[in-house]
Structure 1
């Protein structure tokens, strides 16, 4: 493992950090102050910066991970395959060890919530708690059927809107994605359905949509085996403090899955954001930030040592 040249700053100093692990570049970005919260973004393959949370950075040291594979120099030899939860968790374990604090909080969004759940189940030693933000206990046909039902309901609410056909066409193209350009086009195409009411706030949200960057990641292991998830049994034994966050209008990992995660995980807390879809940190930032902050305060991690 090699690190970038020393600059007289520690691993939690504000700004961007880079190191290499087995020839793979790992980057992360530090913003804010307070107890350390490591943040794993979704997709897989969506660039990390959509998940910036300025409202939380006033309370916590936010460590935003660039998941391997999202930058050209961070790709596995098997790219676009091989990005399993176990592999992401292994990279997370090294990163958390490098931060030099006894414990961190781990927040995962969307696919990152699946990664965070796996890490909490299999490598909980350095975690003070976990935030599962827009996750689910399963993938596969059951998850897809629920998403299809939610998308149909969303489409019915927006029947007649001129933007609706484009969104539905993007969903239709999702299963045929095979490169980075198509990944970006589909991610931007479906995005209006990922908000409680995108078109009512399009002036504010359109720049967010236009800024989405993404890399094609297949969801298959190196041997082309799907990384199918069913955590229902395992989550019943999760003992870490856990906060589940879900948007009431999320079409992909919606309220059914938030309730199920909450019911499965002993002692977990559930926040349902009633005016949000998949991006509650943008749609209801103050409530989102206040709830995560209170969760951290009540479960007791201290301030990091920033000496480099």
Structure 2
């Protein structure tokens, strides 16, 4: 995985030098706007780590879970919109952003447990969940194993087996630029800013074998679920997204137009509308 990340970094440098890159919206990687000022922020002691979180607004809660190697600030546009009438909870996953990690092996079940412990810490019994990439996978784990904690699940750019990942992502320019940016953000935000390679090595062990859920497991989900993907997602095969929507009972398939894995940055207004249309539906 480390070798793949180096390839990504080289691709990102070539991307920045290329005047023809990013002609289409789905090829761009906009910088997120600064986060609004939180009503509350801090660190929760959960499962042997310090988990950074921010809380915005008031109303029915919604938990936003970012993707692998990222951090919660990617959700700034969604926070600005949803916090008008929701209590929006935005953490950094273990080892990501400002949250710490320990020697325990990464696993989606462990990360789901972190988020449940954070909800307990914040005294939130039940919430809508919007998850992107790894965040969507964590949301599916919670929906399968702790459905009583979720009102709705909006899972974007997630996969449920490792073969759902498109191998072409290894040479994709936009994804390469994201990897390069993530390394810079890690150095800026993390309490262990020089340990990015060690962090990537540790989490890569999870990505090699997880998730690996069966059709029967997914078929037991009772939480109202939207399975969401950009129509130009670089990392997840379209047929895999469609498979997920077909085996999760009652799942709604949502395809975001002219958008990729990074739809929340490329089309924040359209993304916010898709989220609201689902989590606020009566």
Query: TM-score, normalising length from structure 2?
Result: 0.71
The equivalent position to 2:55 in structure 1, one of 26, 30, 47, is 30
Distance 1:22 1:34, change over 3 A: closer
Which stretch has the larger CA shift, 45-54 or 111-120?
45-54
Secondary structure of the residue that 2:236 maps to in structure 1?
coil
Residue 197 of structure 2 is aligned to residue 218 of structure 1 = no
Residue 86 of structure 2 is aligned to residue 94 of structure 1 = no
Which stretch has the larger CA shift, 14-23 or 288-297?
14-23
Separation in 2 of the partners of 1:20 and 1:294? Answer: 34
Whether the 8 Å contact between 1:24 and 1:74 is mirrored in structure 2 is yes
Residue 89 of structure 2 is aligned to residue 63 of structure 1 = yes
Distance 1:254 1:283, change over 3 A: farther
Which runs of 5 or more structure 1 residues have no equivalent in the other structure?
1-12, 156-166, 172-184, 189-207, 300-308
- Aligned pairs, number: 231
The equivalent position to 2:142 in structure 1, one of 114, 119, 130, is 119
Query: TM-score, normalising length from structure 1?
Result: 0.66
Whether the 8 Å contact between 2:63 and 2:128 is mirrored in structure 1 is yes
The equivalent position to 1:143 in structure 2, one of 159, 164, 168, is 164
The equivalent position to 2:108 in structure 1, one of 85, 107, 111, is 85
The list of structure 1 runs, each at least 4 consecutive aligned residues, that deviate by more than 6 angstroms after superposition, is: 208-211
Query: In structure 1, what is the equivalent of residue 29 of structure 2?
Result: none
The equivalent position to 2:263 in structure 1, one of 280, 293, 303, is 280
Which runs of 5 or more structure 2 residues have no equivalent in the other structure?
1-37, 187-195
Residue 133 of structure 2 is aligned to residue 110 of structure 1 = yes
Shift of 1:254: 4.3
Please provide the CA RMSD for this pair: 3.0
Say which one has the larger Rg. Answer: 1
Shift of 1:228: 4.5
